[in-house]
Amino acid sequence: PVEIVPGCLYWPGWLDRAGQEALAEELRVVLARAPLFAPRMPRTGKPFSVRMSNCGPLGWVSDSDGYRYQPTHPETGEPWPAMPDVLLKAWDALAGASLAPEACLINWYGPGARMGLHQDRDEEEFSAPVLSLSLGDTALFRIGGTARKDPTRSVRLASGDALLLSGPARLAFHGIDRILPDTSTLLRQPGRINLTLRRVRPGG
């Protein structure tokens, strides 16, 4: 892997085309049971441009009550579907000896969607890494340091790329500036899916 900033390891093309297609098919099954929802900003109620769902024991949601992890879908009330085995295998291969991931957040970016610079701090466990897998159109990803004003670097995240955030990068500011149109033929519609696998609660 390539180290983008300290603690941010990047594997371009970690999944080959067949692996990407297999994962996309697994996600169609997951999303049929846990449909994408439109999260809203806690204070303003403004919708995110990214749509979301989750799989695994816990899922990240955001509404007027705030950001949190919960075991059920905010609209169906059903438990999140199980994490596909290919995701657990990716975690085993890249996240080292960490305990199994508890949450996989599924972010769907349509052509105009973006995600502002932020830190991920809704977990109780920051010592475990976060693993990201990208599918579909390429994203312009930006990552800096633990202060918002720190300098940033940009990386194009393409379909099949993996990113592992640990140590000093776990609390780094990061975001998605834009999606580059017509950069992948994987998905049935223009856009991008990003998966983030995480531990949420401290483990034993």
Residue ranges that bind ligand MD3, judged by CB under 6 A: 105, 107, 115, 120, 130, 132, 139, 141, 143, 163, 165, 169-170, 172, 174, 176, 194, 196
Q: Which of 35-43, 67-75, 120-128, 143-151 is the region at the interface with Fe ion (rule: CB under 5 A)?
A: 120-128
Phi, psi of 22 (to 5 degrees): -65, -45
Closest-CB residue for ligand MD3? 194
By beta-carbon proximity to ligand MD3, the closer residue of 158 and 172 is: 172
DSSP code for 93 = H
For the bound state, the minimum distance from the C-beta of residue 27 to Fe ion, rounded and expressed in Å, comes to: 19
By beta-carbon proximity to ligand MD3, the closer residue of 165 and 187 is: 165
Q: Of Fe ion, ligand MD3, none, which one does residue 187 interact with (CB within 5 to 8 Å by kind)?
A: none
d(CA 92, CA 137) in angstroms, rounded, equals 26
Q: Assess contact for 158 and 138: CB atoms under 8 A.
A: yes
Number of amino acids touching Fe ion (CB under 5 A): 1
By beta-carbon proximity to ligand MD3, the closer residue of 48 and 79 is: 48
Q: Assess contact for 35 and 75: CB atoms under 8 A.
A: yes
For the bound state, the minimum distance from the C-beta of residue 66 to ligand MD3, rounded and expressed in Å, comes to: 15
Q: Of Fe ion, ligand MD3, none, which one does residue 164 interact with (CB within 5 to 8 Å by kind)?
A: none
DSSP code for 4 = S
Q: Assess contact for 141 and 168: CB atoms under 8 A.
A: no
For the bound state, the minimum distance from the C-beta of residue 143 to ligand MD3, rounded and expressed in Å, comes to: 6
DSSP E strand boundaries for 18-158: 51-55, 59-63, 66-70, 103-109, 115-118, 130-136, 139-143, 153-157
Q: Decide: residue 12, CB within 10 A, 0-12 exposed, 13-18 middle, 19+ buried.
A: middle
> Does 102 participate in binding Fe ion (rule CB under 5 A)?
no
Residues 6+ apart with CB under 8 A from 18: none
Residues that bind Fe ion (CB under 5 A): 120
